[in-house]
Amino acid sequence: MASGDDGNKKLKLYSYWTSSCSHRVRIGLNFKGLKYEYKEVNLVTGEQHTPEFKKLNPIGYVPVLVDGDVVLSDSFAILMYLEEKYPQHPLLPSDLKKKAINYQAANIVSSSIQPHQNLAELKYIEEKISADETLPWVEFHIGNGFAALEELLKDYAGKYATGDEVYLADLFLAPQIYRAIKSFNLDMSKYPLLLRLYDAYSELPAFQDAMPEKQPDAPSS
């Protein structure tokens, strides 16, 4: 679904290959069958702080979605916009309680875990304490969040997080579990449900095509 050089696609996604927030939106776009142009923003070289990019997103984070003259940032806002504008393959169940569980799981990731593992935070810990302290810090926050997710989802999970269909919670969980395993080598033995979900996601093309290493800006080696 992503193309590095086609300027004619209506949808554009400003993304960085390892950004888990961008990863969520990539899954969503794939899941809904939406083609888009991939616009790389190199977070390591600070491209998110350039005046051009800050005009798109004042907070200087990725992802940003451009849909014609609509420019949106924040993975959640983008996904809710896509959900309403392109209703195929819905991201939310109609049942009120199950919908709420999806929002809650998504927010456990986006408010309780991810803010404590992003590049800016890790840099800060490294500067103020030490590089050795970054891993325990991240593990503390991921561990708390994963323990909560195991509890929250245990009565709802089926093949996927909240039943036998993919929904919003899965779009937030997949990148987070990926990052915990690949970037931080987290011991997942305490989180059997999340590990099982991770395997389930590996069977789905929408999820697989969104993986960091498959993006145009991933290093070739």
* Per-position x/- string for 103-142, each x denoting binding to its own copies as judged by CB under 8 A, each - no binding: xx--xx-xxx-xxx-------x---xx---x---x--xx-
Q: Within 10-39, which residues bind its own copies (CB under 8 A)?
A: none
Nearest approach in angstroms of CB 205 to its own copies is 27
Select 44 or 59, whichever has its Cβ closest to its own copies. Answer: 59
Query: For residue 75, what are the CA distances in angstroms to 8, 96, 123?
Result: 23, 22, 22
Instruction: For the sheet with 11-15, list strands across it.
Output: 2-3, 36-40, 11-15, 64-67, 70-73
Residue 158 binds its own copies, judged by CB under 8 A? no
Closest CA to 168 of 32, 59, 70: 32
177 in Cβ contact with 194 (< 8 Å) = yes
Please say which residue, 35 or 141, places its beta carbon nearer to its own copies: 141
In order, the DSSP letters of 74-86 are SHHHHHHHHHHHS
Q: Does 99 bind its own copies (CB under 8 A)?
A: yes
- Bridge partners of 174, per DSSP, are none
CA distance 1 to 36: 6
Rule CB under 8 A: choose which of 151, 158, 196, 202 binds its own copies.
151
Least distance from C-beta 159 to its own copies, angstroms? 22
Is there a contact between 31 and 81 (Cβ–Cβ < 8 Å)?
Answer: no
192: which 2 tokens?
A: 């059997």
Own/partner contacts of 129-138, CB < 8 Å, gap of 24 or more, are: 135/184, 138/184
Residues 160-199 that bind its own copies (CB under 8 A): none
Structure tokens at 104: 């809650």
Which of 11, 119, 135, 148 touches its own copies by CB under 8 A? 148
Binds its own copies by CB under 8 A, chosen from 29, 152, 157, 171: 152
Query: From the list 9, 143, 144, 188, which residue makes contact with its own copies (rule: CB under 8 A)?
Result: 144
Quick note: the x/- pattern for its own copies over 39-68, rule CB under 8 A, is: -------------------xxxx-------
d(CA 74, CA 85): 16
Residue number with CB closer to its own copies (77 or 131): 77
Residues that bind its own copies (CB under 8 A): 58-61, 70, 72-74, 76-78, 80-81, 84-85, 96-97, 99-101, 103-104, 107-108, 110-112, 114-116, 124, 128-129, 133, 137, 140-141, 144-145, 147-148, 151-152
